[in-house]
Amino acid sequence: MTSVAERTAPPTVQLSVLLWLSAIGAGAIEALIHLLFPEPPTFGRLGARFAIYAVLAVLVLALRTGRNPVRWTVAVLLGGFGTLSLVIEPVSWLLAGGSPGLFLVTADAPALVAAALRAAHVVAVWSALVLMFRPAANAFFARR
């Protein structure tokens, strides 16, 4: 029989879960902000995006079970592919000659809010990813 302490995720894993959920929330809010853009996403695209967010949230919540395959799935899907999906557009824009300074002085409020949410999203993903592999988290996932 395992004690409650052995079944409870350590603070690093709990904070990682919170940050992953925050990242998903930032993505969801950013998607809604895009409705205010000149070329908003269709409701079909939004529906698909929110369905993906729901599946990812369930996967992130499963981290609390301590199953190592779940951790690696989250790391690859959200930490890997998710990060790429977040940075490919701004990096492409920069490589095409985009100017961050010019963007900041010419962007409207929805674009600025979307950019801030994207930045917060990236920080939450990277922070959650690091926390998920800290020593206490490694020990938690190794016990399962």
pLDDT in tens, 39-72: 999 999 999 999 999 999 999 999 999 999 999 9
Is 2 inside a domain boundary?
no
Is 120 inside a domain boundary?
yes
> What single string gives the DSSP state of each residue in 69-136?
HHHHHHIIIIIIIIHHHHHHHHHHHHHTT--HHHHHHH--HHHHHHHHHHHHHHHHHHHHHHHTTSHH
Is 117 inside a domain boundary?
yes
Is 45 inside a domain boundary?
yes
**pTM, two decimal places:** 0.90
Inform me whether the pLDDT recorded for 4 exceeds 60: no
Integer Cα distance of 41 and 110 in angstroms? 14
Query: Residue 5's pLDDT is what?
Result: 46
Is 118 inside a domain boundary?
yes
Is 3 inside a domain boundary?
no
Query: Residue 6's pLDDT is what?
Result: 52
